[in-house]
Amino acid sequence: MQRVAFLHENAGQGHPGGDRNLAHDVLGLIGVGEGCRRDGAEGALRLRRLDLNSLVALHSLLSTRSVSQSAEQLCLGLPAVSHILERLREQCGAPLLCRDGRRMAPTPYAEALLPQLEAWLAQAQQLIAPQPFYPSRLEGAYRLAMPDLLEAALLPRLISSLQEQAPGLCLQVLAMPESEVPAALDERRIDGAIGHFPQLPARLSRRRLFRSRFVCVHHAGRLALPPHLYTSYIGNDASLVDDYPRAHGQARRVIASTASLLAIRLLLERLPAVAVLPDLIAQVLRGGDASLRWRRLDDADLAIEVAHVWHRRRDADPLLQFIDGLLWQQSAEWRD
């Protein structure tokens, strides 16, 4: 039997409902028997003073009826096990084991404790064991912040996969500037976010989904030194496309700014203008419309990285891992 570490500070934590029953059972083990029933406040104080590892040791002592064998099982020295036994006797207010020749014999009080102790240990192991995860049983919502332009590219397949694998889960997509994402994750207003995040606090985790280069999109008959339409595909007012020509001593003339994929298509149909977009968005925008043309920009450094980000406290959350896995699968075709 391996030593199991239960710290008294964790006695009030765990799965909803199970932790309270577990604490009640522990008090029942040491507070009822030869002794007396304590009121709630005094019982809680006794629980805080109890090292729950001592109950694991007690189970070993009652099972083996040997201090030396228990010490070997628990990877402890003989003096340590003897000290645990003496401390338990004081806490229970009754003897637990007595010498019977070369072995130890449990007292009637200890024999009565053993079935309860075994049940408690089984419940404790279940409490800390990994819980099975079944996407088909999921209910509720997953709140995902994502710019409008990425929604059009990623949502159709993602929602289709969710309907197949987790039909009870609702995907709630919110538009949110990149600068607000860290606070929203801290405050649990969202579960995750997808977008371009050049700088993230250390408390957030990310997974790079794909890297997208830029293309110029325009209507077939409208390209004569045109002005630009600015598209906020990452949900803020800064533009990587503006920074690039500025670094080369140039500038572009922007006549309108929009984050709507539908608006870009309509504007390009009516105006002699171009929109510089990530190629992922351009493909979605163009669809089967042959009147929209595009040309990839030559500089491979002009690109954005699109990532899924979340708070580190959820790194081991099965639901988040499930969503992240779907996003990774759905974005496979956009990766280099």
Q: Do 266 and 298 sit in the same domain of this protein?
A: yes
DSSP bridge partners of 192: 144
The residue-averaged pLDDT of 44-73 equals 76
Q: Do 271 and 179 sit in the same domain of this protein?
A: yes
Which CATH number does the domain housing residue 78 bear?
1.10.10.10
Give the per-residue pLDDT at 89. 81
Q: Do 191 and 304 sit in the same domain of this protein?
A: yes
Give the per-residue pLDDT at 22. 44
**Residue 135 clears pLDDT 60, i.e. is over it:** yes
Q: Is the residue at 30 inside a domain?
A: yes
Q: Is the residue at 280 inside a domain?
A: yes
> Domain limits at 70?
8-128
Read off the pLDDT band of 222 (50, 70, 90). Answer: low
Q: Do 115 and 247 sit in the same domain of this protein?
A: no
Per-residue burial over 279-289, b if 16 or more Cβ lie within 10 Å, else e, is bbbbbbbbeee
CB 29 within 8 A of CB 117: yes
**Residue 43 clears pLDDT 80, i.e. is over it:** no
Which CATH number does the domain housing residue 195 bear?
3.40.190.290
Residues 6+ positions from 209 with CB-CB distance below 8 Å? 194, 306, 307, 308, 327, 328, 331, 334, 335
How far apart (Å, rounded) are the C-alpha atoms in residues 281 and 216?
11
How far apart (Å, rounded) are the C-alpha atoms in residues 170 and 140?
6
**Residue 4 clears pLDDT 50, i.e. is over it:** no
Most confident of 107-116, 262-271, 294-303, 307-316: 307-316
Give the per-residue pLDDT at 137. 93
Read off the pLDDT band of 7 (50, 70, 90). Answer: very low
Determine how β-strand 228-231 pairs with β-strand 292-296.
Answer: unpaired
Neighbours of 7 (CB within 10 A): 10
Q: Do 186 and 287 sit in the same domain of this protein?
A: yes
Give the per-residue pLDDT at 131. 78
Give the per-residue pLDDT at 50. 62
Q: Is the residue at 45 inside a domain?
A: yes
Rounded to two decimals, what is the model's pTM? 0.61
Per residue in 228-256, pLDDT tens? 666 664 444 446 666 766 776 767 777 77
